[in-house]
Amino acid sequence: MPEGDTVYRTAINLDRALSGRALTRCDLRVPAFATVDLSGRTVNEVVSRGKHVLVRTDDFTIHSHLKMEGSWHTYQHGSAWRRPEWQARAILANVDWVAVGFQLGTLDVVARSDESSVVGYLGPDLLGPDWDPAEALRRLTADPARPVGLALLDQRVMAGLGNVYRNELCFLSGVLPTRRVGDIDQPQKLVDLAHRLLDANKNRATRSTTGKLRGATDWVSRRDGKACYRCGATVRRGQLGEDDLQLRDTYWCPHCQT
């Protein structure tokens, strides 16, 4: 699943192609909105909110979430698409560009005044202009008995973290994903680290939590059975989930994390 930094870059690319231009085509290929046509309306801006993309006109917002397989591409007219047309769920065009949303996990249209119905539940956006570390800390520590690995994935706590960052943050903080939030000595450092990691990667084509842009870019994510870069112990893999968060893979070093 794309993480918040990927969605941030997606929104920037879409904004460059769509913002300030009138739509000449609006083709939304989902049953609930197949008859909606915003052609003629000018796109004011495209922004990310956590893992959500919001394409805003004066009165409507086209809202999408990439989920596991989704992506947005921008093309000049006449250019070949990099994915098959049958995967296209949204096509937005103006006189200069065509933006195509492929296999979008969520796609809907809401009134600008009703955006809160689709993103209002989210916690502070780690890459948003209104990032609020104090509110993020309050939400993170609201349930001291909750495993930190679950709290970090909960978009109601901090918007933008996915499974890679969840595992990397736990490693860099020296805590197991199963450690209770209330047992973490300085949770504010975890919040600050989450912001620093996403901010450092938001303009990079290659995500890295180790500081290296080639080779060893992740400390533990997807490295089960391999040696920890710090201590040499074998990285392990498990799963963690709860009622409203599906089981997701966890990765940790049994020596560096407690």
Catalytic positions = 2-3, 51, 248
**How far apart are the C-alpha atoms of 149 and 135, rounded to whole Å?**
19
60-65, strands of its sheet edge to edge: 45-49, 52-56, 60-65, 106-111
- Compute the C-alpha angle 38/40/42, nearest 5°: 85
Contact 57, 43 (CB under 8 A): yes
Write the CA distances from 214 to 191, 205, 211, integer angstroms. Answer: 26, 11, 9
DSSP 8-class letter at 222? T
Q: Which residues pair with 227 in a beta bridge?
A: 234
d(CA 5, CA 189): 20
